[in-house]
Amino acid sequence: MDMKSIPAQTGNYNLENYEEMYKTFDWEDAKKNFTWNETGKVNMAYEAIDKHAEDPDKKNQPALVYSAPGREETLTFSDLKRESDKFANVLKKHNIEKGDRVFMFLPRSPEFYAAFLGILKTGAIAGPLFEAFMEQAVRDRLEDSGAKMLITTPELLERVPEKELPDLKQVVLVGGEGSGDYISFEEEMKDASQDFDIEWVDLEDGMLLHYTSGSTGKPKGVYHVHNAMIQHYQTGKWVLDLKEGDIYWCTADPGWVTGTSYGIFAPWLNGVTNVVKGGRFSADDWYSLIAEKEISVWYSAPTAFRKLMSAGAEVAKKHDMTSLRHVLSVGEPLNPEVVTWGLKAFDLRIHDTWWMTETGAQLICNFPAMEIRPGSMGKPIPGIEASIVDNEGNELPPNQMGNLAIKEGWPAQMRAIWNNPGKFESYFVNGWYVSGDSAYQDEDGYFWFQGRLDDVINTSGERVGPFEVESKLIEHEAVAEAGVIGKPDPERGEIIKAFIMLNDGYEESDELLEDIRQFVKKGLSAHAAPREMEVKDSIPKTRSGKIMRRLLKSWELGLPTGDTSTLEE
């Protein structure tokens, strides 16, 4: 779709002149905003919460506004400091130390945020898990990380194979009775002291593990350190354009990186009120929340915008959304149609932003005071060098498609892949971090996303590894072989399509396919279950036994199959 550019907005923005800032900015400047600039010691939870709780003008300002069916709660900065200090004391009492992995398998709730901050205060490493994960997904992550403690609910505990996890020493239950084996969150919090001596750590000390999928192998633990705060703070200022008095809503779950970097760190480092919504998606509820809470800055995803779009203008019209002043998107390509819809629905531009779990923070963005070219992800933030490179890491000229790459060494960059140094190394070529996305850059410096270069599937903005789904599929008694691809879908971006070969003695039927689908859903998670399945007599593989997903995809899309010389006889 060819669409005219949308001119820069006028107003008071934190970043008025992108070009100028790009030329002059140095990350050293950003460090001056933090107290550790003098002491050398740091803690993300201090900068995000305690600092504001110590400020008489800010301590009673709402920090967390929680809204879910049947539960509304507001915690000020001083409330969150107290609750997280208490939980940090609970952790210490149960021998959690700096560097330990403490995982959280919880729905979005005030307890989640207090516990998360409490973990950081002890210097331990937090590992948030998406609440829709099922047993296998939970086991893989707890096993690989060697998590010592898990915080969960009695319902979710049913999906945790405790006996198979020798490193897991303790389980804290939120909303459950304390019994011999389990620690009760509520009971321990009742008695916990409100005074906690925060663990001052080094910038390079571990803070967070987010598991994410690649095209091969199990999910990988992307390891982030406290230093990331420099970029969370700065992008919160420039990209989210957060200012005193803003009411901010990020729709992402903290089990994914957007829900931590921009659902916890960026808003609180900038001292703004952070709205968290529990419960499921409903267009009416979402619009009501914006109106009721008077949300001014809103960060969401193309899938959600597309759902709102299909709910129709009537639903939108019932609600007053004039509080909104800045809207942003991440996670998948933002279709120009959605940008056009946004202009009509909110009278605002939707600002696309590009980044990944591995990058820790936003890298290529559209800024309020910058012209938008719908379909483009924007330009690199000041302090970031982005380029298009070939497979050897040589830069390519404008308008040529290649690997989207970032010059190594930005503040929020992952520092390791947990237990997997080889994988970590493989991301870097000739000084560039190679993202796995293909893109090109136009003559004016705008980046245009083209697709994934590997087989990673992006369904409704969630990253799914085909290998994980294939492995689960073949565990089903009826399935001999499986190949999994992402199939383009107008609302979800991509859906998961599985090609399967059945074992002898099994006949294809709707019941059997549904049974296989449910098997994946119950083993991994709902978003990883194939929405489409097709039975084949064989699954194409290379002579070395690798599933040729590319060939499956070409079949599916009716495209030429290209080079099949490596295909097994």
Binding region for ligand WTA (CB under 6 A): 212, 256-258, 330-334, 352-357, 377, 435-437, 449, 452, 458, 463
Of 334 and 552, nearer to ligand WTA (C-beta) is 334
Paired sense of beta strands 170-173 and 182-184, if any: parallel
The answer to whether the beta carbons of residues 418 and 221 sit under 8 Å apart is: yes
CB atoms within 10 A of CB 62: 18
Nearer to ligand WTA, 296 or 435 (CB): 435
Shortest distance in whole angstroms from residue 368 CB to ligand WTA: 16
- DSSP 3-state assignment of 342? helix
3-state secondary structure of 416: strand
CB of 147 to ligand WTA, least distance (A): 21
For ligand WTA, give the closer residue by CB, 273 or 366: 366
Q: How far apart are CA 30 and CA 237, in angstroms?
A: 11
- Give kind and range of the element (H or E) at residue 191: helix 185-191
Least distance between ligand WTA and beta carbon 504 (Å): 39
Nearer of residues 223 and 449 to ligand WTA, judged by Cβ: 449
Minimum distance, C-beta of residue 302 to ligand WTA, in the bound complex (Å): 8
User: Measured between alpha carbons, how far is 483 from 541 in angstroms, rounded to an integer?
Assistant: 9
Considering beta carbons, is residue 227 or 458 the nearer one to ligand WTA?
458
Question: b/e map of 446-455 (b: 16 or more CB within 10 Å)?
Answer: bbbbeebbeb
Residue 458 CB, shortest distance to ligand WTA, in Å, is: 5
Left, alpha or beta for 70 (phi > 0: left; psi -120 to 50: alpha)?
left
194: amino acid identity, one letter: Q
Q: How far is the CB of 66 from ligand WTA (least distance, A)?
A: 23
Torsion angle (degrees, nearest 10) of CA 166, 169, 174, 180: 110
| Nearest distance from C-beta of residue 439 to ligand WTA, angstroms | 9
Nearest CB to ligand WTA, comparing residues 144 and 481: 144
136 or 212: whose CB is closer to ligand WTA? 212
Give me the least distance between CB of 212 and ligand WTA, in Å please: 5
Residue-level length of the chain: 569
User: Residue 266 Cβ, how far from ligand WTA at the closest point, in Å?
Assistant: 13
Minimum Å distance from CB 463 to ligand WTA? 4
Taking the complex as a whole, the smallest distance from the CB of residue 231 to ligand WTA amounts, in Å, to: 13
CB 493 within 8 A of CB 461: yes
Q: What token pair was written down for 242? A: 């957060």
Residue labelled with tokens 């516990």: 115
Name the minimum Å distance from CB 261 to ligand WTA. 8
Q: Which of 412, 435, 416 is nearest to 262 (CA)?
A: 412
Which letter does DSSP use for residue 372 in this model?
A: B
Give the amino acid at 565: S
Q: For residues 263 and 255, what is the distance between their CA atoms, to the nearest angstrom?
A: 10
Nearest to ligand WTA of 80, 524 (CB atom): 524
Pick 67 or 458: Cβ nearer ligand WTA: 458
364-365 and 457-459 strand pairing: unpaired
Q: Which is nearer to ligand WTA, 276 or 330 (CB)?
A: 330
Strand-pairing partners, residue 559, are none
Helix 135-145 to helix 510-523 angle, to the nearest 10 degrees? 30
Distance CA 414, CA 204 (A): 11
CB of 371 to ligand WTA, least distance (A): 17
Q: Cα 163 from chain centroid?
A: 29
Closest CB to ligand WTA among 43 and 441? 441
Residue placing its CB nearer to ligand WTA in the complex, 80 or 334: 334
User: Phi/psi zone of residue 320: left (φ > 0), alpha (ψ -120 to 50 degrees), beta?
Assistant: beta
Strands, DSSP E only, in 356-492? Answer: 364-365, 379-380, 386-389, 402-407, 416-417, 428-429, 432-441, 447-452, 457-459, 462-464, 479-489
The answer to whether the CB of 290 falls within 8 A of the CB of 324 is yes
CB closer to ligand WTA out of 109 and 353:
353
Residue number of the CB closest to ligand WTA reads 357
Q: Shortest approach of ligand WTA to residue 433 CB, angstroms? A: 11
62 vs 493, beta carbon nearer ligand WTA? 493
CA–CA distance, 187 with 495 (Å, rounded to integer)? 44
- Which residues, other chains included, contact 371 with Cβ-Cβ below 8 Å and sequence gap of 6+? 5, 6, 7, 8
Q: Yes or no: say if 447 and 379 are a contact pair by the CB < 8 Å rule.
A: yes
